[in-house]
Structure 1
Amino acid sequence: MTSPRSDHPTPPSGGGPGEPQYADRVYRSMAGMVGGAGLVAIACWLGGDAIAKGKGHTPWLAIAALLLALPLIVALTLRPAVFANSDRIRVRNPFRTITVPWTGVDAVRSSYSTELLAGGRKYQLWAIPVSLRARKRAAKQDARSKAAGDDAFTPGGLRPAPGRRPAVPGADPTIRAWSDQALSELRELHERREGEAVADSAATAPVVRWCWEVLAPATAGAIVLIVLLAIG
């Protein structure tokens, strides 16, 4: 299960004149966040017990192991997110953050993983994992919904089928998996800005920032752990 995006209006913060302004749409994996929170709790429980009750080098080994494990757990489960608005997309992966204006994006696509193509390079969107099971489940739900819609009206009068939701005018009524719905929204944002003339090509290049707040403590923890294991 994955979390829905957040899309709450905020005061204007740039963009085209006359266009409504919104906060970033945020996409995260709820399964990853729940699993990450559980792993953090287990690591802290085991590590804290070893620090409190361990003897000899055990407390120091536990501290080094926590210094290595906790940043990696957070990076792989809680950190990934995709932030998108009408101007740009920001992809927060475990160890890097990639920021690209929509005018510099070549494509957003999905096969066995969700990918962003920009500046001649490919970046995976860790926060939007592809689930083949979710796709099959959504396809079955869509088929059932369409089948119910065919019989939604009886000859005696207009009677909506039980549980049928009213369609939003102009919206695609197809039921999709969460990852496919998120990808559809990102493609829509991209298509709005696609083809715009850009004076400075350097302004559309992806900006990549390494997540040193994760890499630095994890590296330090690994070094300390290796040294402690080496000296016995």
Structure 2
Amino acid sequence: MPYASADEREVFVSRFNRVVAVLIWAATAAIAVTLVLSVDDLRLLYLVPCLFFALVAWSALWRPLLVVATEGVTVRNVLSTIEIPWAALINVDTKYALTLYTPGRKFSVWSAPAPGTARTLRATRNETRGRVGKPSVADTVRRPGDLLSTESGQAAEVIRRRWSDLRDSGRLDAGVADQTPVTVHWHWAELAGMVLLAAGTVAALLLA
């Protein structure tokens, strides 16, 4: 699901993943409230697993996004945020999820998964009935994840279009991908929090 920010960047998040995150938060909140109101013994340790699942839902389902901007593409996944300048990009694929390739590396976009069978059928019907257009990718290499009414297809189309416009206008130097750095920022705080809460969850299940 894309939306435009104030500086005209295009931002993509997974609406399905965010709905699942909200459902998990609602369930963990209900369990936590029940524990606080009904028990006063070691079973209160079950609050730790509630916190763990709430953090996982935030890190894995709510927080990931994709930003397509003038300077390049930013991918915020579960464990890291990757900044890919346009000059470093060499290929875009949607086999299992939207995947961006740079020399010697590839980065899957957590917020743009490829569709399953049911979603592929719905997306194909939408295209056949003219509700959405056809992706610009050639038919010989087209995948279900390229369909424009899928999360991966919408994001892939925007990236391919912006990338192609930069090349065609001469604003993107050719042959410099190997020399263009890709920056990876690891989410150390979130990783530490998940490790600590995972250990606390195991301890709570053993002790309570």
TM-score (norm 2): 0.78
Aligned residues: percent identity?
A: 21
Q: Contact 1:103 / 1:193 at 8 angstroms: preserved in 2?
A: no
Change (3 A) 1:118 1:41: same
1:108 to 77, 85, 92: 92
Q: Contact 1:91 / 1:125 at 8 angstroms: preserved in 2?
A: yes
Change (3 A) 1:89 1:56: same
1:165-204 residue pairs with structure 2 within 5 A? 176-178=148-150, 179-194=152-167, 195-196=172-173, 204=180
Larger radius of gyration: 1
Structure 2 residue 201 is the aligned partner of structure 1 residue 225: yes
Structure 2 residue 28 is the aligned partner of structure 1 residue 35: no
Higher helix proportion (structure 1 or 2):
2
For this pair of structures, how many residues does the alignment match? 191
Could you say what secondary structure the match of 1:205 adopts? Answer: coil
Q: Contact 1:119 / 1:206 at 8 angstroms: preserved in 2?
A: no
1: CA distance, partners of 2:177 / 2:90: 16
Matched residue, 1:17: none
Change (3 A) 1:42 1:130: same
2: CA distance, partners of 1:181 / 1:100: 19
1:111-126 residue pairs with structure 2 within 5 A? 111-126=95-110
Matched residue, 2:52: 68
Cα deviation, 1:17-68, whole Å, max 9, x if unaligned, reads xxxxxx2201111111111111111111102221332232111x22321232
Matched residue, 1:208: 184
1: CA distance, partners of 2:64 / 2:34: 29
Change (3 A) 1:184 1:48: same
2:4 to 3, 7, 26: 7
1: CA distance, partners of 2:6 / 2:64: 23
For structure 1, the residue ranges without an aligned partner over 5 or more in a row are 11-22, 146-163
Cα deviation, 1:143-177, whole Å, max 9, x if unaligned, reads 333xxxxxxxxxxxxxxxxxx99x9xxx97xx832
2: CA distance, partners of 1:76 / 1:63: 20
Higher strand proportion (structure 1 or 2):
2
Matched residue, 2:144: none
Cα deviation, 1:112-168, whole Å, max 9, x if unaligned, reads 3211112411111111111143333333333333xxxxxxxxxxxxxxxxxx99x9x
